[in-house]
Structure 1
Amino acid sequence: MSGESPSTSTDLEQARYIVYRIGDESFASPLLSIKEIVDPLPYCYVPNDHSYFLGLANLRGQIIGVIDLGLRFGMASSVTADAGVLLIFEEDGASLGALVSAVESAITVDPAEIRSEHAVPSNVPEEAYTGVVLYEERILPVVSLIELMHDGPKESNIA
């Protein structure tokens, strides 16, 4: 008889999240959305309407956009004397690097434990804000980095 214990199926339903800091604040994002974590790269400024868009960088021959996640969330800049790290994520072949102050850890969370109530005002764009999770007595906002690629002023489509 091949019975699966309830704890095994529960373990399969849990997901991994990466916990990172912007200044003194911690956030969590799905680990599978992060392609890689790298030291900050030199970037070339490109004029842009968004103050959080730092420019373009060369990641082993691939040109990626670089944003300051602190500025994106209406906080202080993630650029510090400690330099921080870049979280590289992509969708449909387009990559973006999000500069954060530091990466803390990877955690496992049951998605059912993510509370999606929007009871607390936040500067995190609504479409990227997934909710909050209580982890080791800390409340972590959960952010979908992929959704940040869709954010910004909507351009009119040319037919």
Structure 2
Amino acid sequence: MSKLTGFTLLECCTCLSILTISSCLALPLINALERGQLEQDANNIRAAITMARTKALTTSTKTTVCCLDSTNACTETWHNAVSTFLDLNANRVLDQNEQILNVTQWSPKTQIQWRGMGTKGALHFSAAGITQVSNGTLQLQRAGHTINIIVNRQGRVRQVSVPNR
């Protein structure tokens, strides 16, 4: 007579409850990791904007922050990399005689939308470190979390976390 081997109902229920508890503990951790990555992306972009304003002020040179297309012109959509460059003729195009100061990349899961300051999708600082138009907001979104980076007309930058809905 052969002996049958297998799991009892009690063993299966114990394993199932351990898996359930583990997954319940993992969800907040994953949520915190997504939030942390979004905050890191926001801090990097905020630093690029602040650096552009500081460079404009210290060198009395116009600077631009935007995403560049294949022709080195600013695009309206913000995708995986933002460039900061000296924009001597204020045309929002990286010309051959203009220096690129910084390229900031962010996680592909982070979506960014620019609203305000004209329709060109670029943030432009004059030699005095101010923008020439009204307020603008960069909205960063990832996994249900939102952070707004707000730039006022004087060029000051602040960051606001939007509560989850």
| TM norm. shorter chain > 0.5 | no
Q: TM-score, normalised by structure 2?
A: 0.24
Structure (1/2) with the larger helix percentage:
2
Looking at CA atoms only, which structure, 1 or 2, has the larger radius of gyration?
2
Question: Which structure is higher in strand share?
Answer: 1
Could you state the TM-score of these two structures normalised by the residue count of structure 1?
A: 0.24
